[in-house]
Amino acid sequence: DLSCGENSAAADNGDGGDSGDSDSSVDTADLEDYFAEIDAIFEEADSELDAVGDDLDASINAATTDREKVDAFIDAFQHSGQTVETALLAMDEVEAPKEAEDAHDAFVDATIGVLQLSADILSDLEEMTTADEVDAYFTERDPELTDATDAGDAACFDLQDIADENGIDVDLNCED
């Protein structure tokens, strides 16, 4: 992998690359590459999710029946799930440097939790026939949804903190 060679060269501190205390030092080149990769994943997912939200708004506004509104929610939920799953698969392919491993794993785990909850919700939505049912359902499930997304947000903020602490200029756009 060419990027590994570039990272080693960039991290060379002038002593041949072996300072003797490599376990305590932070390889900012590896971290920079890592954060560039996950930032690109986050940006793509955010863009896709914004489009899903826009499509949902347009579909709800254009709907003339409750069934069309319910179908719009189902479609949006399916597309959101697919987008999050695609991002999760991409995140799972990224090897986190040791400094970011715990936060990376927490983010992946939280995202898996959101996907599992989303699959459950989607199954329930498919049985609903009115927009009022959907509204009542989301009101009831809101605490679960909030807990699941809060876990992801917390892990995202942990990742952002790692970037900030290491002087890496990235904005992961963590939700608060």
- Measured CA to CA, the distance from residue 156 to residue 116 in angstroms comes to 19
- Measured CA to CA, the distance from residue 111 to residue 89 in angstroms comes to 10
Question: Mean pLDDT over residues 131-150, rounded?
Answer: 93
Model pTM?
Answer: 0.78
Question: What does the mean pLDDT of the chain come to?
Answer: 85
What is the band of 14 on the pLDDT scale with cuts at 50, 70, 90?
very low
What is the band of 16 on the pLDDT scale with cuts at 50, 70, 90?
very low
Among candidates 107, 105, 87, which has minimal Cα distance to 97? 105
- Any idea how long the chain is? 176
DSSP structure class, residue 65: S
Beta strand extents in the chain (DSSP E only): none
- Residue 33: half-sphere exposure toward Cβ, Cα within 13 Å: 17
